[in-house]
Each structure stands twice: as C-alpha cells, then as structure tokens.
Amino acid sequence: MSSQQLYLLAADAILILHFAFVLFVVLTLVLIFIGYWRDWHWIRNRRLRILHLAAIGFVVIQSWLGQNCPLTGWEMALRQQARDVTYDGAFIAHWVSELLYYQAPTWVFTLAYTLFGLLVMLSWYWIRPDQKKRA
C-alpha cells in the first residue's frame, strides 16, 4: 500500500469518526426525549449525559471562537498529503451544502449549534439524569 493510499485511508477513518460524533450528538438528544416518553432508564445515565453535554459544548465553544473542528483540519491535512480533493470551512457546513445544496453564512451554523446546545442543557432540567445514591 502506497503512502498516498495510507493518507486517504486515515482521512476516510477521520471522516467516519467525525460523522459518528455528529450522529452521537444529534441522536442522543432525540433518544433522550423518546426515552423519556418510553420510560427508558438508560437515558438518565449520568456519564452518558455528561459526555453528551461536553460534546455539544465543545462544538458550541469552537463555533463561538470561529474555529473549525480539529477533526476537519486533520482530515483535510491528510487529504492534502494524499493529493486528494479538500474542502474549505466546517465539516457540517460542507456536508449540509453537499447533501442539500444549501449555502448559509457561518453565523447560521453558529446559531444552530448554540440553540442545539441550549436544548441539550434544557434536557438536563426537563429529563434529569440519575442522582448518585448516597452511601
């Protein structure tokens, strides 16, 4: 396997990881609300909820700082090393544009991330995680 193929393989692995991260952030919130109505106890798992809140918090902070996700940067650097096609901007903005042919200014995505983050925070109030039991 050539070094170019290895770079492409690594870039594709990061792309898959990035997509999995996005799915985790979005689907976890959806499942929390569905789980509330279906009385699923696992949706109240404190570790899961902290990880979920931290994940969207990281995205919101980066967005407010005007930074792209590090996964995007790593993927593009690897694709550049492989002499493959790269894209500018943020991962979500690029794929929304590619999938939906929708162009939006950066502030629209920052607002969307922020509102989604607020919804995740509100889910802590509406659907509380389990409290640790006292010994």
Give 86-129 as a DSSP string.
---S-HHHHHHHHHH-----HHHHHHHHHHHHHHHHHHHHHSPP
Q: Where do the domains of the chain lie?
A: 3-126
**pLDDT per residue of the chain (135 residues) written in tens, 0 to 9:** 888 889 888 988 888 898 899 999 999 999 999 999 999 999 999 999 999 999 999 999 999 999 988 998 898 899 899 887 777 666 666 666 566 446 778 898 899 999 999 999 999 999 999 855 444
- pTM of the predicted model as reported, rounded to 2 decimal places: 0.79
